[in-house]
Chain A
Amino acid sequence: MIVGIMHFTDRIGEGIGQPRFDSVGGEELMHVQPGVTIALGRLSPESPGTLYISNRRVIWLSDTDRDKGYAVDFLSISLHAVSRDPETYPSPCIYTQIEVEDAKDDEFEGLDAECPDETYLSKITEMRLVPHDPNQLDTLFDIFCQCVELNPEPLEGDDEENSWIFGEDFSDDGDQPEWHLSEDLANPIGQVNGNPDLAHSVLHLQINDQRFEDAEEMEDANHN
């Protein structure tokens, strides 16, 4: 699932600490870059922090505030580049574009009530990382490249999207008044011998077939 930028506060250790990685799930630290400022979207840059790059995600932690940190999965980073032109951004930086979900999602509405900040973060589509030493830019760029390649797209994503589209079609067709009106006219598609109950059950049959296995669709086609 694409989640964009998230808050990150899960630190371990004394003092300012460091991020807790999901070592059980195979997460490994790849690179630490101290002295990095982060700028999210059009927000002004944060105070300096430290960048932790794991094989899964990029984590930035503030050096002064233990409760301030951000994380973004490599799966959500659609593009990264080295930006050096002072006219478009005052400091040389790693420029990234973040893929975000459609903001109309129910889950985000739920989050909104609890923590509006999180919703705002999840809509941010650009992130800039400014190392105080610009000579580190090429190294960081290369590490980003390596890590993106470690995170190919999960394959099951397409199936989920398809069933969601079918689900919406189902509720639109089933609840619209046009469907009932059409019963008074000439035989609508799927209506047999003017029996609306039968037509209704045929409609359900077809919808169920779409949502389940291919094999059932084939079977249905044979019957027809």
Chain B
Amino acid sequence: MLFFSYFKELVGKEVTVELKNDLAIRGILHSVDQYLNIKLENTRVVDQEKYPHMLSVRNCFIRGSVVRYVQLPPDGVDIDILHDATRREARGA
């Protein structure tokens, strides 16, 4: 649940979601659920030459299980809070 709680804090910020099929989509994080399904708005594909057909997409819903990485905005990373949260998670496990 750590990732879910953390991603919820990032709603409204810009993130880049990289899929396991190498497609990377940048957009405003609209919502995230417990399965880490991700809904993005104002999206644009990072490598537009390789994926021209994705140009027209302005919002999209990505299945959590196909996500490889989520690149975070630097101002969305509060190291102290993350440290605390990971320690709590480790104790709980």
Q: Residues on A close to B: CB < 8 A?
A: 77-85, 87-89, 95, 97, 99, 125-126, 141, 144-145, 148-149, 152-153
Contact = CB atoms under 8 A, between A and B. Distances in A.
Interface magnitude class on chain B: 20 to 34
Nearest to B52: A88
Interface of B: 19, 21, 23, 33, 35, 37, 39, 43, 52-66
Given A88-B52, A152-B64, 15 more contacts: A78-B62, A78-B63, A78-B65, A79-B66, A81-B58, A81-B60, A81-B61, A83-B56, A83-B57, A95-B54, A95-B56, A97-B23, A141-B61, A145-B39, A153-B35
Given A78-B66, A79-B66, A144 B56 contact: no
Given A79-B60, A148-B37, A87 B55 contact: yes
Nearest to A77: B63
B66 A99 contact: yes
A81 to B, nearest CB: 3
A130 to B, nearest CB: 13
Which 5 A/B pairs are nearest by Cβ-Cβ distance? Answer: A85-B56, A81-B60, A78-B66, A88-B56, A81-B57
28 contacts: A78-B19, A78-B65, A79-B19, A79-B60, A79-B61, A81-B57, A82-B58, A83-B57, A84-B56, A84-B58, A85-B55, A85-B56, A87-B55, A88-B53, A88-B54, A89-B53, A89-B56, A95-B54, A95-B56, A97-B23, A99-B63, A141-B61, A145-B39, A149-B35, A149-B37, A152-B35, A153-B35, A153-B64
Contacts of B60: 79-81
A145 B39 CA distance: 9
B52 A78 contact: no
B26 to A, nearest CB: 14
Contacts of A99: 21, 63, 66
Nearest to B25: A79
In this complex, the member of B37, B64, B65 whose beta carbon has the largest number of chain A beta carbons within 10 angstroms is B65
Contact of A78 (B21, B33, B55): B21
A79 B54 CA distance: 11
